[in-house]
Chains A and B, each alone.
Chain A
Amino acid sequence: MIKFSKLATKEQEPVVEGFFHREFHRHPPAYTPRYKSSVVRSPKLALVSIPNSLSELTGPVFGHGILGDDDNDLTVNYADAGMRPALGERIIVHGRVLDERDKGVPGVLVEIWQANAGGRYRHFKDGYLAPLDESFGGFGRTVTDAEGGYEFRTVRPGPYPWPNGINDWRPSHIHFSLFGAGLAQRLITQMYFEGDPLIPHCPIVNSIPEPSLVDSLVARLDLANTVPMDARAYRFDIVLRGRRSSQFENRS
């Protein structure tokens, strides 16, 4: 294991240990021509590898104090008081944010965005025929608890056509943005739904190099956590990069 030397500082001497290196072969490469937008937006030159110093080991911290009561409930967080909740199949999306050492990561800001039940985004650039839902904004956020747990209530997003191939449809999906403790852990990804027949046809899904890796983005129906007569649950765990052991831990 590579060890970084300790920082020479005036006060306390922190033990600086970087994150496990990123396994690029488990991520989509930059250039994936079947996903046409990547063609002119993919760097052609190699990334320059640098060791993690404080700028990558640190990152913004978002406490639970930023959250409002309904920030993680997309069925009601856009509707004004007295309006009906969002239209669509009511679901709970929950899981844990873990690091690569299988430890829950507390305090992670999780932000999600999605289309409505008809497959339409509330965004000025989305002109799909499916109508907007006046009670649905399509954004939610939460901060993970002490064990890394998170939970959202929402409606299942619809699939939608998109301008890539002449007949490309996105499978139902929810976008996830995550902040770990350090900038090097920053991640944006997408969650898909178990059993969706569109998954294997999607050029964005297929930017991922192996089918087994796609599996890790597919939320499973979680009957045990379904709320009877209310909402089905889907389980989606997310793994952020882990940090190498500190010297203190090595001694224990």
Chain B
Amino acid sequence: MAIRSRVLHETPSQTAGPFVHIGCTPNRIGLAYAYRGQDLGERLFDNGVPGQRIVVEGCVFDGIGTPVKDGMVEIWQADHKGLFNSPQDRRGQSSLGFSGWGRQATDPETGEFSFRTIKPGETPFVDGRMQAPFISFWIVARGVNLGLHTRMYFPDEAERNRQDPVLSKLEHACRIQTLIASCVSDNHYRFDIRLQGEGETVFFDV
């Protein structure tokens, strides 16, 4: 019979520290030809992948509004039809050539990140209701003791955002705005992440 209960416990987290880039984005910080010249997560899609091309940029800020210049941001999302590139998603095959996963060091001068990706389709919540399209974010940095999960929703999806099972359940409706990107121009979104203080981003325990 399968073991049903927890018999071990998750290893404690420790901060990624200021040098996370050596391990995760070595080419970005000038360790040339590390892993044959390519950092994992540099590109989310190949040419020819269907879907609406978008840019998602932003900055991570600390509690006094200073950009976090030594952090790392990862994103994970469904393809344009709402399918994940994972064997755990048994509903169908996601777009070939779409990884769904991106990773960037925040810029050492500005703290900015910028992903080129595809606008995700809607995906089901646990009860089968559909969720508004979103991109999952995971943020680590020096001073962050446990990686932070959040989600970015789209400003041009007001109706679906209003009905979204996660957004509509937030106790403090005024915080919903921290999860919704702003529109810079067509297909170009901005999602700033505030670790602490005024406008603190909603982070999730998943």
Binding site for B on A (CB under 8 A): 1, 4-12, 14, 16, 18, 20-24, 26-30, 32, 35-45, 47-62, 66, 68, 71, 78, 98-103, 109, 111-113, 121-126, 137-141, 175, 177, 181-184, 186-190, 204-205, 207-208, 213-214, 216-217, 238-242, 244-245, 249-250, 252
Contact = CB atoms under 8 A, between A and B. Distances in A.
Given A4-B126, A54-B123, A125-B19, 9 more contacts: A8-B124, A40-B195, A42-B145, A100-B9, A137-B31, A183-B138, A207-B14, A207-B145, A249-B4
A44 B35 contact: no
Contacts of A100: 6-10
Given A41-B144, A42-B195, A55-B84, A184 B4 contact: no
Interface string B58-72: 000011101010100
Return the 4 tightest CB-CB contacts between A and B, nearest first: A113-B23, A37-B143, A58-B86, A41-B143
A27 B108 CA distance: 28
Contacts of B100: 60
B185 interface: no
A21 B182 CA distance: 32
B38 to A, nearest CB: 9
A129 B23 CA distance: 22
A32 B147 CA distance: 15
Given A23-B10, A43-B203, A122 B145 contact: no
Interface of B: 1-24, 26, 29-31, 34-36, 40-41, 62-64, 66, 68, 70, 74, 76-78, 84-92, 99-101, 108, 123-128, 131, 134, 136, 138, 140-149, 151, 166, 170-171, 195-197, 200-206
Contacts of B68: 41
B206 A189 contact: no
Contact of A35 (B20, B23, B92, B143): B143
A138 B23 CA distance: 8
Contacts of B125: 53
Nearest to B13: A27
Q: Is the interface of A mostly helix, strand, loop or mixed?
A: loop
Contacts of B142: 37, 41
Given A29-B145, A58-B86, A240 B31 contact: no
Contact of B9 (A26, A51, A66, A177): A26
A22 B31 contact: no
Contact of B7 (A50, A101, A138, A181): A101
A250 B3 CA distance: 9
Nearest to A57: B88
B11 A187 contact: yes
Given A9-B124, A54-B88, A124-B30, A43 B11 contact: no
Nearest to A18: B126
Given A43-B148, A52-B206, A137-B26, A122 B7 contact: no
A47 B196 CA distance: 12
> Which interface residue of B16, B22, B66 has the most chain A CB atoms within 10 A?
B22
A95 B84 CA distance: 30
Contacts of A126: 19
A189 B13 contact: yes
7 contacts: A12-B90, A14-B90, A36-B143, A39-B63, A45-B202, A48-B202, A188-B13
A246 B108 CA distance: 44
B26 A28 contact: no
A29 to B, nearest CB: 7
B26 A139 contact: yes
Contact of B63 (A41, A188, A189): A41
A8 B125 CA distance: 10
Given A28-B14, A123-B19, A241-B10, A40 B126 contact: no
> Which interface residue of B108, B127, B148 has the most chain A CB atoms within 10 A?
B127
A135 to B, nearest CB: 13
A139 B23 contact: yes
A214 B6 CA distance: 20
Nearest to B138: A186
